[in-house]
Amino acid sequence: MRIPLITIEREGKDVLTSNIEFNGWHISSSNEHIGLRDNVIGIIEKHGKGSTVVMADVDSLARRKMDIALLKKLKTKKVDIWLITHIEDADDLFDAFYMNIDSLIVPYHATLSDAALKEMNSVSDSTMPLVLTDGKVALSRSGEMPLMEILKNITEMGFFSIGVMHVSEEYNESMWSELHSKFERIIPFVRGSDEDIASLENIGFTDIVTL
Protein backbone atom coordinates (compact mmCIF):
# COMPACT_ATOMS: atom_id res chain seq x y z
CA MET A 1 0.00 0.00 0.00
CA ARG A 2 1.30 3.42 -0.97
CA ILE A 3 0.61 5.93 1.80
CA PRO A 4 0.86 9.67 1.12
CA LEU A 5 2.54 12.02 3.61
CA ILE A 6 1.59 15.66 4.06
CA THR A 7 2.78 18.28 6.51
CA ILE A 8 0.29 20.14 8.70
CA GLU A 9 0.51 23.57 10.34
CA ARG A 10 -1.88 25.72 12.32
CA GLU A 11 -2.71 29.06 10.67
CA GLY A 12 -5.22 30.88 12.86
CA LYS A 13 -8.37 28.75 12.86
CA ASP A 14 -7.26 26.81 9.80
CA VAL A 15 -4.95 23.87 9.21
CA LEU A 16 -2.69 24.20 6.18
CA THR A 17 -0.95 21.31 4.49
CA SER A 18 2.06 21.06 2.24
CA ASN A 19 4.84 18.79 1.00
CA ILE A 20 7.76 17.86 3.20
CA GLU A 21 11.21 19.38 2.78
CA PHE A 22 14.55 18.56 4.41
CA ASN A 23 17.51 20.66 5.46
CA GLY A 24 19.91 18.11 6.82
CA TRP A 25 17.96 16.43 9.62
CA HIS A 26 15.47 19.31 9.89
CA ILE A 27 11.94 18.70 8.57
CA SER A 28 9.81 21.56 7.27
CA SER A 29 7.05 22.38 4.78
CA SER A 30 7.39 23.62 1.24
CA ASN A 31 6.16 27.12 0.40
CA GLU A 32 3.04 25.90 -1.39
CA HIS A 33 0.12 25.33 0.99
CA ILE A 34 -3.41 23.98 0.66
CA GLY A 35 -6.20 23.67 3.22
CA LEU A 36 -6.50 20.35 5.03
CA ARG A 37 -10.04 19.68 3.81
CA ASP A 38 -9.13 20.24 0.16
CA ASN A 39 -6.02 18.09 0.46
CA VAL A 40 -7.95 15.25 2.09
CA ILE A 41 -10.55 15.41 -0.69
CA GLY A 42 -7.80 15.08 -3.28
CA ILE A 43 -6.26 12.13 -1.43
CA ILE A 44 -9.63 10.38 -1.22
CA GLU A 45 -10.16 10.87 -4.96
CA LYS A 46 -6.78 9.26 -5.64
CA HIS A 47 -6.54 6.59 -2.94
CA GLY A 48 -10.15 6.03 -1.86
CA LYS A 49 -12.22 6.72 1.25
CA GLY A 50 -10.78 5.16 4.38
CA SER A 51 -7.22 5.27 3.04
CA THR A 52 -4.31 6.10 5.32
CA VAL A 53 -2.59 9.50 5.37
CA VAL A 54 0.56 10.35 7.31
CA MET A 55 0.41 13.89 8.72
CA ALA A 56 3.62 15.47 10.00
CA ASP A 57 3.24 18.34 12.48
CA VAL A 58 6.42 20.16 11.49
CA ASP A 59 6.04 22.98 14.02
CA SER A 60 5.82 20.56 16.94
CA LEU A 61 8.97 18.80 15.72
CA ALA A 62 10.81 22.12 15.48
CA ARG A 63 9.60 23.40 18.86
CA ARG A 64 9.93 20.00 20.55
CA LYS A 65 6.42 20.23 21.96
CA MET A 66 3.18 18.58 20.94
CA ASP A 67 0.47 20.97 19.71
CA ILE A 68 -2.79 19.74 21.26
CA ALA A 69 -4.71 22.67 19.72
CA LEU A 70 -3.73 21.44 16.27
CA LEU A 71 -4.69 17.85 17.02
CA LYS A 72 -8.18 18.98 18.01
CA LYS A 73 -8.64 20.30 14.47
CA LEU A 74 -7.85 16.97 12.79
CA LYS A 75 -11.48 15.90 12.73
CA THR A 76 -12.13 13.63 9.77
CA LYS A 77 -13.44 10.08 9.57
CA LYS A 78 -12.80 9.90 5.84
CA VAL A 79 -9.15 8.86 6.22
CA ASP A 80 -7.05 7.08 8.82
CA ILE A 81 -4.51 9.48 10.32
CA TRP A 82 -0.98 8.40 11.16
CA LEU A 83 0.46 11.38 13.00
CA ILE A 84 4.12 12.37 13.27
CA THR A 85 4.52 14.74 16.20
CA HIS A 86 6.89 15.43 19.07
CA ILE A 87 6.56 12.59 21.58
CA GLU A 88 8.91 12.16 24.52
CA ASP A 89 7.27 9.55 26.73
CA ALA A 90 4.11 7.52 27.36
CA ASP A 91 2.30 10.48 28.94
CA ASP A 92 2.45 12.27 25.59
CA LEU A 93 0.87 9.22 23.96
CA PHE A 94 -2.22 9.45 26.11
CA ASP A 95 -2.63 13.14 25.25
CA ALA A 96 -2.47 12.41 21.51
CA PHE A 97 -4.73 9.36 21.50
CA TYR A 98 -7.52 11.36 23.11
CA MET A 99 -7.73 13.09 19.73
CA ASN A 100 -8.83 11.66 16.38
CA ILE A 101 -5.55 9.82 15.75
CA ASP A 102 -5.36 6.23 14.52
CA SER A 103 -1.61 5.70 14.89
CA LEU A 104 1.23 7.74 16.34
CA ILE A 105 4.61 7.89 14.64
CA VAL A 106 7.29 8.73 17.17
CA PRO A 107 10.63 10.19 16.02
CA TYR A 108 13.24 8.06 17.76
CA HIS A 109 15.64 10.95 18.38
CA ALA A 110 12.97 12.95 20.26
CA THR A 111 12.17 10.30 22.86
CA LEU A 112 13.64 10.65 26.34
CA SER A 113 15.30 7.23 26.40
CA ASP A 114 15.05 3.67 25.12
CA ALA A 115 13.20 2.85 28.33
CA ALA A 116 10.62 5.55 27.58
CA LEU A 117 10.22 4.23 24.03
CA LYS A 118 9.80 0.67 25.26
CA GLU A 119 7.10 1.82 27.68
CA MET A 120 5.20 3.39 24.77
CA ASN A 121 5.02 -0.02 23.12
CA SER A 122 3.70 -1.55 26.31
CA VAL A 123 0.81 0.94 26.57
CA SER A 124 -0.18 1.14 22.89
CA ASP A 125 0.24 -1.14 19.90
CA SER A 126 -0.66 1.80 17.65
CA THR A 127 2.74 3.44 18.12
CA MET A 128 5.47 3.32 15.49
CA PRO A 129 9.04 4.56 16.06
CA LEU A 130 10.49 6.60 13.19
CA VAL A 131 14.21 6.67 12.45
CA LEU A 132 15.70 9.35 10.19
CA THR A 133 18.64 8.29 8.04
CA ASP A 134 20.74 9.70 5.21
CA GLY A 135 21.55 6.19 4.04
CA LYS A 136 24.78 5.98 6.02
CA VAL A 137 23.99 7.03 9.58
CA ALA A 138 20.80 7.69 11.54
CA LEU A 139 19.77 10.43 13.94
CA SER A 140 19.81 9.49 17.63
CA ARG A 141 19.25 11.50 20.80
CA SER A 142 22.95 12.28 21.12
CA GLY A 143 23.82 12.78 17.46
CA GLU A 144 24.50 10.33 14.65
CA MET A 145 24.68 6.56 15.07
CA PRO A 146 24.85 3.54 12.75
CA LEU A 147 21.37 2.88 11.35
CA MET A 148 21.57 -0.87 11.88
CA GLU A 149 22.44 -0.43 15.56
CA ILE A 150 19.39 1.73 16.22
CA LEU A 151 17.07 -0.59 14.31
CA LYS A 152 18.39 -3.61 16.20
CA ASN A 153 17.68 -1.89 19.53
CA ILE A 154 14.15 -0.93 18.49
CA THR A 155 13.39 -4.36 17.04
CA GLU A 156 14.24 -5.97 20.38
CA MET A 157 11.53 -3.80 22.00
CA GLY A 158 8.89 -5.71 20.01
CA PHE A 159 7.27 -2.92 18.00
CA PHE A 160 4.89 -4.14 15.29
CA SER A 161 6.36 -1.69 12.73
CA ILE A 162 9.35 0.65 12.47
CA GLY A 163 9.41 3.60 10.09
CA VAL A 164 12.65 4.53 8.34
CA MET A 165 12.64 7.97 6.71
CA HIS A 166 15.31 8.55 4.08
CA VAL A 167 16.09 12.28 4.08
CA SER A 168 18.13 12.08 0.87
CA GLU A 169 16.54 12.61 -2.53
CA GLU A 170 18.67 9.83 -4.03
CA TYR A 171 17.03 6.40 -4.03
CA ASN A 172 19.24 3.80 -2.34
CA GLU A 173 18.13 0.36 -3.51
CA SER A 174 20.99 -1.49 -1.83
CA MET A 175 20.16 0.05 1.57
CA TRP A 176 16.50 -0.90 1.32
CA SER A 177 17.35 -4.43 0.16
CA GLU A 178 19.62 -4.86 3.18
CA LEU A 179 16.99 -3.49 5.58
CA HIS A 180 14.34 -5.81 4.17
CA SER A 181 16.61 -8.82 4.52
CA LYS A 182 17.55 -8.04 8.14
CA PHE A 183 14.35 -6.59 9.59
CA GLU A 184 10.78 -7.81 9.02
CA ARG A 185 8.86 -4.76 10.20
CA ILE A 186 10.31 -1.81 8.27
CA ILE A 187 8.05 0.74 6.58
CA PRO A 188 10.02 2.96 4.15
CA PHE A 189 9.39 6.73 4.10
CA VAL A 190 10.89 7.87 0.78
CA ARG A 191 10.95 10.49 -1.91
CA GLY A 192 11.25 9.01 -5.36
CA SER A 193 9.77 8.29 -8.76
CA ASP A 194 7.13 5.67 -9.50
CA GLU A 195 10.00 3.44 -10.61
CA ASP A 196 11.69 3.83 -7.21
CA ILE A 197 8.47 2.97 -5.38
CA ALA A 198 7.95 -0.02 -7.67
CA SER A 199 11.49 -1.13 -6.81
CA LEU A 200 10.61 -1.10 -3.09
CA GLU A 201 7.52 -3.16 -3.82
CA ASN A 202 9.62 -5.63 -5.79
CA ILE A 203 12.04 -5.89 -2.85
CA GLY A 204 9.07 -6.98 -0.75
CA PHE A 205 7.86 -3.96 1.21
CA THR A 206 4.06 -3.99 1.53
CA ASP A 207 3.51 -0.50 3.03
CA ILE A 208 5.45 2.46 1.64
CA VAL A 209 5.03 6.10 2.73
CA THR A 210 5.62 8.46 -0.17
CA LEU A 211 7.03 11.91 0.61
The pLDDT tens digits for 52-79 are 999 999 999 999 999 999 998 887 778 9
Give how many domains the chain has, as a whole number: 1
pLDDT in tens, 161-203: 999 999 998 999 999 999 999 998 999 999 989 999 999 999 9
pLDDT in tens, 95-117: 888 777 899 999 999 999 999 99
Range of the domain at 178: 2-210
CATH of the domain at 39: 3.20.20.70
Instruction: Write the burial class of residue 30 (CB in 10 Å: 0-12 exposed, 13-18 middle, 19+ buried).
Output: exposed
